[in-house]
Structure 1
């Protein structure tokens, strides 16, 4: 697929292409400048290091000259050590210099800081290489060592005094490393740091932080870069700062001299140049962009207006005339206007037909079937406001509905219209929808794909017939039949049980007839209450009141308790149980005389939904424990058979029967 971009984008691309060579050239210049700048700083670093080397080495040569002059004195040739010592004292007077003479192996001959003749071992221990070199008559420059007398870091320049047939002596002039620092400081430029190290890699002197570094070894990663007679490298210092360093190593002393500058300082001119180039480039780019915007504004506006009219035509919206100075765009705009008028005429004809048929019709040309064209009846079936479905041919977002088929949820991707967009065909399939307004409808739907002349799938159509009322009638009839069967079976079972118990426990047919009649009346009262509540349950107070008033006057009993709803089956059983308690009270208890009363109270525990009911008789004849359980007692106990946590208790006290029982309503 060919990528497409706007005219303005192409203009911006043209400017960008024109600027790319310029930026490449600028980048090349910056690269060359960076390399030259780096080379310049590297050359400057080596030059500074050589300058410091010249200054320091001149000081070392001066120390060698002092030692050489003393070694040629007549007193030394005559073996007059007191005069030699006095001459050495004169050379050291007023300075930090110390003159020491000692044999290669043995005690010091003298040390200008000690009286002549003081026995002391020499502090200058020469390495085998230094011994070999000095015995050949060459001077040596020692490394840094810690002086025991002054506790300071010092260096020495030493020469050999060769005597015929005698062991050679070593004459050394030593100075503290601070003198090396002070000697080189005038040669150190600003922002640069100079370090001087001996042959062993220890710092002799440093232009900054001298006291902290003299006599201490340099960083291994720094020293490993000092390998030849001269060179440059980058490394980090003790503070972690990256440095650009140049170094030289002296043939005379064997020391190295390094000039260091922070890499950030060395790169600062380059950064300034990059910033300047970037600023100039940004300004030039902004100017070019502004010119491109002004030039392309007229073209892009005309193209945008033309695209808007084409979009309106695709959406079946009105296409307005277009005024533009671009001739080609004006021609296309006129053609779109003519096409809009022709399409409008055909749409009016199709809309009249679609809004007349009594079925829902949906068209879609969206691959996901989320944008649809529907008729008036389709909008009504989906619960959409009428004004949203009155204009056929206007694309709109598909209604958000919930659909099921055969009790299974059907997602958007498996519904007829979406399946047809994948090439599937559906025929007279039933779907139940929960529509936008919350209504539930059952539709009989068929869907087909729409293909162009080349056989390519471009759209789909769905036609649905509303069969909600038909399905509702079928379901209602089946529900009524099932409910009737269930209730008839339950009622017959209860009547059968009551009749069986009554006949079994009655001494005569007449008494059985009367008892059965009263029990069926109590059962009918409970049925009346449940029927009035559509068998959803019964109110406990109403159930007790209607059951007891069927046998006694309301002034003979009291009912106390909060509102409690009980299930239908429990309501029937309680009605029969209360009927039996009332019958027994009429025969033997509180209702057998004119003064007796009965109080029924109940309480529902909110924590475990447990119902407690207490039947209490007062004012009747004295009662006693019966010899056997009657039908009423067994009936009340059977109410709790399905609840293992239930209980029933009969207390036959002198004042009257007290019956208390509990039921777990959750069971």
Structure 2
């Protein structure tokens, strides 16, 4: 009987059923896209306005601080030293800087520069900026760089009237990162908000702030910011097309932009397109039902074809099919051929899949660049396993670096390639570095695959993931070395303490008591370091732990900023504080009921170096006389920070009591070193 293509039977019916639905859906999609675009534009404008309100609230807070300082009596009386003290109290503990200057180039006060030091000249205030300051009573600057080129700041300034002469300018500056932090709660998820000054330079940005602050915006972007508010589309620095809404503030004359990738705006359109596809599929099903009614012979042939496909899926024999539809006959014959091919491959694939969770690679490529991998192999190589093509479809190998015995192995010398040349490999260990940078250790074996005539037609490699085992071995070695090192250091410290204590003791009981006390102090310092995994110790906690077992804390006045000490400095300082405390109990301020001890410290930074300056000062104790003999405590104090690298210590025996000044270098301290007091 004559055979005609199925397309000629069904094309008219499918077109009549589906095309009108698709046209209507396309119309609805266009209307929806216009609505969504308008909604995102309104959201962008609203977000820009909200961010401007939040940021300008912060600027208003800075203005309030300046208004309060401008009413200072010290400033009104010309007492710059007193006024500087007030300003320092305002900015203490913050990254703010207060400057008092004239409208020319002269600075009168700068909280960042010590009082009495020569203040560098500044840029004079332009006539336009003076007019704005006069009109609004406040001036918000553009972005400018401080002494550190990486530290970009903005300032808020007000005029301070002076009885004689021209008004002064009082300003407070903050890093642009502060503006970024203030605006972040108002930034919706998935949006990028930028703030620009009057010249179009970035003040802050919700993303990549450090890279963008202080840099000019794209000219093609800035030229579209016209008027008070609006929206537009433009490309950003990365070349991504954005939908942007902007608002220019009359308060600071800065502009605020809220940006969202145009792809996000168009996402509803794509979702609608997916819906249209679903509708199309439904229409197709309806058309198939109509096709069944119109031509039952197609449905009978389809059912027979489906039965053969099901037989193929369940591994049964596929019988040839007789039909008048040429395409169905071709598909049926293809199913018969596929059933024969699958039978030939079924046994080898079943054998391979039984080896899971081992990674398996097949190749029939002479260069081993096209491979067939199982699921476990894909996971090991960092490839996605969801939605992958079925097992048996070849893929290109990924670009990895293989290392064996410390040497890089080329792809030609790896097990699968060697197996394609007829070599056999067994249990060879390789380290593979994936494109993502992840390192995996594999134990691999490979064999060639031969046809019945003995010719090599492919190869198979089976690998076991031994990454956890290798890393466990390395971790155990590291822990053993670290433990050995710390035990040696601790024993060296204890040995030196014991030797010096016994050498300077007048009796064995005294030596026992003194040694026990010093070892307890050392143990408490060790406890503090152990609680922090030997990363260091807090200075205040260290002092408290060293004093508390020996003397009441109410006899001490302790003050200073938070300081984190490296392990070696912490151990030495703990022993030093212990020696000072026990000496004060025996001979000094703590030997009577009225004496007290003041402990204070501060951090001093010089370029890349940090130095701790700590003062121990005894008061109201017995009168201090000249020292005739140095005991171990005094020797320890003089030697604990004696080297130039660690710092220095100065002991002063004043009549009012002992004064001990420590100067300890904190930069470059190495926790692996034994404290200097015990190295000899």
Kindly name which structure, 1 or 2, has the bigger radius of gyration based on alpha carbons: 1
The alignment's TM-score, normalised by the length of structure 1, stands at 0.45
Per chain length, whose mean CA-contact separation is higher, i.e. which structure has more relative contact order (CA < 8 Å, sep 6+)?
2
